[in-house]
């Protein structure tokens, strides 16, 4: 398949949020990425359910929701009701991970598992049969605009091999410091979905930047 682009609204202009959502709607982007942070699992707070409902009201692309929160199981159905199409929980934060991702799928969403930079991707081998996507964090989660961690290329390649050897239908997504300088190499390593926030929304022409990311050859 052609790779997917999921612009992260964490870097959008919150004073003009509808404008930025509509820009993504018109663009060649595939999904809209939402980073949900509670100030406990990560040292930052982002938006909650009222904002997600608002985004869903205006979005025409699937909502790709990444939970960086403690006790994600308490909120799965609420995120579904708010409009999440893809729901990703952290390997490091879900105590009963297989039960959590199974419930996400039962609720009608695609299930993702995110891994922090310090977590070996080999630790995912037993959860891969139960999920639709792995989100490899290429920065430490919590803030946008961080520098890309270069060891991520090898981590992606290792995960790609693990998935392909078992024949699983599992996407690999990356988030954090993704830009036009490293995106093609990430795709070559085996990435299916690029999340880009600052690179898109801080550019002079966000829609054109999305198109460049979508058109990358690798």
Burial of 211 (0-12, 13-18, 19+ CB in 10 A): middle
- In sequence order, the β-bridge partners of residue 135 are 114, 173
Residues 115-153, buried b or exposed e (16+ Cβ, 10 A)?
bbeebebeebeebbebbbbbbbbbbebbebeeebbeebb
Distances (CA, A) of 14 to 54, 86, 91, 136: 12, 22, 29, 26
Tell me if residue 175 is catalytic: yes
Q: How far apart are CA 34 and CA 31, in angstroms?
A: 10
Catalytic one of 20, 30, 64, 175: 175
Per-residue tokens: 126: 């037993």
Contacts 24+ apart (CB under 8 A), 182-185: 182/148, 183/213, 183/216, 184/216, 184/217, 184/218, 185/153, 185/218
Tell me if residue 35 is catalytic: yes
Catalytic one of 30, 35, 64, 192: 35
Catalytic residue ranges: 35, 175
């Amino acid at each position: 398949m052609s790779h997917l682009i999921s612009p992260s609204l964490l870097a959008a202009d919150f004073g003009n949020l509808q404008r930025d959502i509509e820009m993504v709607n018109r663009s060649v982007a595939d999904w809209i990425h939402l980073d949900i942070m509670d100030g406990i699992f990560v040292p930052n707070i982002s938006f909650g359910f009222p904002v997600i409902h608002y985004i869903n009201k205006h979005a025409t692309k699937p909502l790709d929701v990444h939970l960086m929160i403690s006790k994600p199981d308490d909120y799965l159905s609420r995120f579904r009701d708010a409009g999440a199409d893809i729901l990703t929980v952290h390997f490091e934060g879900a105590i009963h991970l297989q039960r959590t991702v199974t419930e996400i799928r039962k609720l009608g969403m695609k299930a993702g598992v995110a891994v922090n930079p310090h977590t070996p991707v080999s630790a995912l081998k037993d959860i891969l049969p139960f999920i639709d996507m792995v989100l490899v964090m290429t920065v430490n989660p919590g803030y946008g605009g961080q520098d890309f961690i270069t060891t991520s290329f090898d981590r992606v390649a290792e995960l790609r091999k693990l998935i392909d050897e078992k024949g699983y239908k599992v996407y690999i997504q990356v988030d954090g410091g993704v830009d036009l300088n490293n995106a093609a190499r990430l795709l070559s390593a085996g990435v299916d979905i690029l999340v880009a926030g600052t690179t898109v929304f801080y550019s002079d022409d966000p829609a054109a930047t999305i198109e460049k990311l979508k058109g990358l050859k690798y």
